[in-house]
Amino acid sequence: MGLVFRGAAEAGLGAASAADRPGPPDAVPNPTPTPPAEGADPGSSRGPGMVLKAFFPTCCASADSGLLVGRWVPEQSSAVVLAVVHFPFIPVQVKELLAQVQQASQVGVTVLGTWCHRRQELEESLGHFLEGLGAIFSHKPWFQLCRERGSKSWSCKATHWRGPASPAASGEDQVMLIFYDQRKVLLSQLHPPMALPDRQAGDTTASAGGLAAVFDTVARSEALFQSDRFNEGPVRLSHWQSEGMEASILVELAKWAAGPVCLFLACLLSLISAASSCRVFKLWPLSFIWSKLSTCEQLRHRLEQLTLIFSTRKAKNPAQLMRKDLIGQLADALIPVADHVAEELQHLLQWLMGAPAGLKMNRALDQVLGRFFLYHIHLWISYIHLMSPFIERILWHVGLSACLGLTVALSILSDIIALLTFHIYCFYVYGARLYCLKIHGLSSLWRLFRGKKWNVLRQRVDSCSYDLDQLFIGTLLFTILVFLLPTTALYYLVFTLLRLLVVAVQGLIHLLVDLINSLPLYSLGLRLCRPYRLAAGVKFRVLEHETGRPLRLLMQINPLPYSRVVHTYRLPTCGCHPKHSWGSLCRKLFFGELIYPWRQRGNKQD
Amino acid sequence: MEDEQSFSDICGGRLALQRRFYSPSCLEFCLSCPRITLRSLTAVTCSVWLAAYGLFTLCENSMILSAAIFITLLGLLGYLHFVKIDHETLLIIDSLGIQMTSSYASGKESTTFIEMGQVNDVVINEAIYMQKVIYYLCILLKDPMEPHGISQVVPLFQSAKPRLDCLIEVYRSCQDILAHQKATSTSP
């Protein structure tokens, strides 16, 4: 049998004074017949003058009188108020609801005290009645918050029952009221401060501060916020949902439509990825080409992202660059550029065939190499002129794929550069191979000159006795190679520099693509539009203060700075980083080994 | 309860320290930096425009003059929004924490809050700053690994840079509150 308490919110309140001055504990007159025989307060030995903190949601500041429901954190001496239970209620049902919520959310939700929102008329009975509630829902400390309707004066009292040893005496503590916006704290995610460079990441979790406990409590108590004072239930609660649930017709419609649309697009994408991974594309010539073109790599990356997009919320970066007249202009510009490059190369070769930088070349070898490369340029120019009518159409079709993002357009640009400078790449390979052969021949003949030999079996240099004619021919060849070295080296140097220039340009484009890929657009958008979701900490503001009243603070969320947002939420990149260090690069250049500037991700072959 | 005192910073400029006493457990200090003066503003503007005019006589391109005007305006806006701090505030709340706020001349505010559980102590330290030795107030943060170690030093009033007399005022009040907080804290 439970007692039903009449709603006494409409009536006034007794002349309970709002005294909360710190001082020696007073003996509060005890209206109920017997105080509960509770045990002593476990584990807290506080002296007088201890300040308790009460975190109060701003949405409940205008609610009617009732019971305060929330969680008490003894380590921080703070009470986090989550909701207000209105009259009339049956205590048993309130206790049942709290037990349910506690089980569902693993948060120790209890009745913390009473809340009284009164008018100017005062009544004795409500005061006694509220104090009697302390006997039914026993909690140490028992909070009594009080506010006058229409004014800004608050009062709060926190009392302890000392236990059977001194039943009449109870201590009063000073209470500090901290207001917080419940919806924002519920949705926000607190980021711990950045760990110092010389500490490991695990250390920062040890100091989970008091504010993190508050955020945690509110975030985990969703079960409590499901029913409202306007719902027909046994218990009527007031919390942030009472202000009006957030709703917008467009958002609701979009949510309904999102389901089937996502399903359809997911099916489409799975078809595309199944088609692209079929065996035809894995045959050798095609797979080699796919792995060398950065466009295909980027398309694959984009496909992966699109398949993810409809399951999680992540923003895409659409940028449609290509329009019809732009394509025409680009195509018209490409041929003269290619011609110009070829002409410059021809001038360069003529210069090399003469006396470059005042050096004297071996005329015969010079002429051979120069004519060889000039013929290649001639072939290349003819090829370009043959292709020129089709360039515009090809570019337009290729440019369609640029609607998948700026990064795809940049990758296409990188591939166009690679294709246009293909002859430079070929020249580099020829020059490097020649130079490499020469260097190897020189080193081997140098060993012969000194009477040594490379032992392939033992991978070391051994002494060896040569016949006379071997020595003679070896020395002759060595001399020839040494005197032809400057010419070959010069050609190698020139073409390597050109190739490195092209590689540098392509590398810059890839760096830009990586940067765009790894930019967390969703997090940045969230930081811009809903800054309270990403919290770096909190900030406090002292509200109007009168002497004799409790201290009131407003707790607001301090959003994360943009640099930390990018740093924390950076997306994983393609990982196309050069694998060489500077030393190995220089070594390879000196010996004429070919350098491959980057490996595409997933390319297992060497 | 408010009172205001006048101090000077390390360069001799005038600072105003405002102290607000909300309760025995809550105290706020507001230190106002010297304002931007008309003389310095005029000097910078004139030097930028003279340089631009010199370039103009060399290059005969009138875009330089317009560019100089834009640069001056944008530079002034950027300086007011990102660099020039109007006043710095220190709010100490017993058993909650310490909050530092810097307000820029354009109205932007940047706030940092340190919880009381992380604060080891508030001390006045000496530092070598350019060619001078100055005093500054700083908060020592606790090290989670060692109980008595210091993990970080957070300096206060870095833009205002008050002298020792002002720092002693703030230091005394902070120590009162910290001592009270340590006496009544429940954690071992």
Q: Which two tokens stand for residue B66?
A: 């317009």
The answer to whether A51 faces chain B, any CB pair under 8 Å, is yes
Return the bridge partners of A523, or none: none
A589-602 burial, b if ≥16 CB within 10 A, otherwise e? beebeebebbbbee
**What is the structure's pLDDT at A326?**
64
Name the residue of chain B whose CA is nearest to A561's CA.
B110
Per residue in A150-181, pLDDT tens?
Answer: 777 788 877 775 444 444 445 567 788 899 98
pLDDT value of position A574:
60
Please check the confidence at residue A379 and state whether its pLDDT lies above 80: yes
Helices (H), A69-168: 91-105, 124-136
Q: HSE of A185 in the Cβ direction (CA atoms, 13 Å)?
A: 32
pLDDT of residue B121: 92
- Percent of chain A clearing pLDDT 90 (strictly above): 9
Answer whether residue B187 shows pLDDT above 70.
no
Of B139, B140, B156, give the one whose Cα is nearest residue B148: B140
CA angle A267, A272, A275 (to 5 degrees): 125
The answer to whether the CB atoms of A539 and B111 lie below 8 A apart is yes
Averaged over B40-47, what is the pLDDT? 94
Segment A121-148 mean pLDDT: 73
Q: Which residues pair with A552 in a beta bridge?
A: A177
Angstroms from A539 CA to nearest CA on chain B: 6
Partner residue opposite A75 with nearest CB, options B25, B91, B187? B187
Question: Given A46, A209, A539, which is nearest B186 (Cβ)?
Answer: A46
Spatial separation of the C-alpha atoms in residues A443 and A449, rounded to whole Å: 10
Torsion of CA A426, A427, A428, A431, to 10 degrees: 130
Q: Indicate whether A449 pLDDT > 90.
A: no
Tokens of A575: 């990982």
Tokens of A600: 């595409």
For chain A, the C-alpha Rg in angstroms (whole number) is: 40
Give contacts of B98 with chain A, Cβ < 8 Å: none
SS3 (DSSP) at A463: strand
**Nearest residue of B to residue A550, measured between CA atoms:** B23
Tell whether B95 lies on the interface with A, counting CB pairs under 8 A: yes
**Residue B174: pLDDT above 60?**
yes
Question: Comparing C-alpha atoms, which of A185, A537, A534, A564 is closest to residue B100?
Answer: A537
Comparing A524 with A337, the larger pLDDT belongs to: A524
Q: Which of A173, A542, A557, A564 to mutate to test the interface with B (most CBs of B within 10 A)?
A: A542
Considering only CB atoms, B95 lies closest to which of A51, A74, A203, namely A51
What percent of chain A has a predicted confidence (pLDDT) above 70?
Answer: 75
Flag if B23 and A539 touch (Cβ within 8 Å). no
Q: Do A203 and B145 touch (CB under 8 A)?
A: yes
**B 116-175 residues inside an 8 A Cβ radius of A:** 117-118, 142, 144-145, 151-152
What confidence score (pLDDT) does residue B149 get? 87
Judged on CB neighbours under 10 Å (0-12, 13-18, 19+), A8 is middle
Contact across the interface for B23 and A545, Cβ inside 8 Å: yes
Question: Measuring CA to CA, which residue among A58, A59, A109, A67 is closest to residue A86?
Answer: A67
The whole-number pLDDT of residue A124 equals 62
DSSP calls for A338-368? HHHHHHHHHHHHHHHHS-GGGPPP-HHHHHH
Q: How far apart are CA A212 and CA A218, in angstroms?
A: 10
Kindly report, residue by residue over B72-103, the tens digit of the pLDDT.
Answer: 999 999 999 999 999 999 999 988 899 999 99
**B26, B99, B184 ranked by CB distance to A539: nearest:** B99
Q: How far B120 CA sits from the closest chain A CA (Å)? A: 13
* Closest alpha carbon to A300 in A407, A398, A400, A396: A407
Q: Which of A256, A235, A237 is nearest to A247 (CA)?
A: A256
Distance (Å, whole) CA A209 – CA A75: 10
Chain A residue at shortest CA distance from B115? A209
Tens digits of per-residue pLDDT, A397-448? 777 777 777 888 888 888 888 888 888 888 899 899 999 999 999 999 998 8
pLDDT at A169: 44
A178-223 pLDDT per residue, tens? 999 888 898 888 888 775 555 444 444 434 577 888 888 888 888 7
Q: In the predicted model, what is the mean pLDDT of residues A300-317?
A: 56
Q: Is B187 on the interface with A (CB under 8 A)?
A: yes
Chain B positions touching A176 (Cβ under 8 A) are 25-26, 93, 95-96
Do the chains contact at B144 and A178, CB–CB below 8 Å? no
**Model confidence, pTM:** 0.70
Question: Chain B contact for A248, CB < 8 A?
Answer: no
pLDDT bin (cut points 50, 70, 90) of residue A310 is low
Q: Which is it for strands B2-8 and B26-32: parallel, antiparallel or unpaired?
A: unpaired
What are the φ/ψ torsions at residue A437 (nearest 5 degrees)?
-60, -45
A210 has a chain B CB within 8 A of its CB: yes
pLDDT at B136 over 90: yes
A53 lies within 8 A of chain B by CB = yes
**CB < 8 Å from A in window 18-37 of B:** 22-23, 25-26, 28
pLDDT at residue A208, rounded to an integer: 52
Q: Cα distance from A50 to chain B (closest Cα, Å)?
A: 6
Mean pLDDT taken over chain A = 76
- Nearest Cα to Cα of residue B159 among B43, B18, B35, B5: B35
Residues whose CB falls within 8 Å of the CB of residue B109, separated by 6 or more in sequence, listed in order = B101, B102, B103
- Which has the higher per-residue pLDDT, B105 or A517? B105
A36 in contact with chain B, both atoms CB, cutoff 8 A: no
What percent of chain B is predicted at pLDDT more than 70? Answer: 98
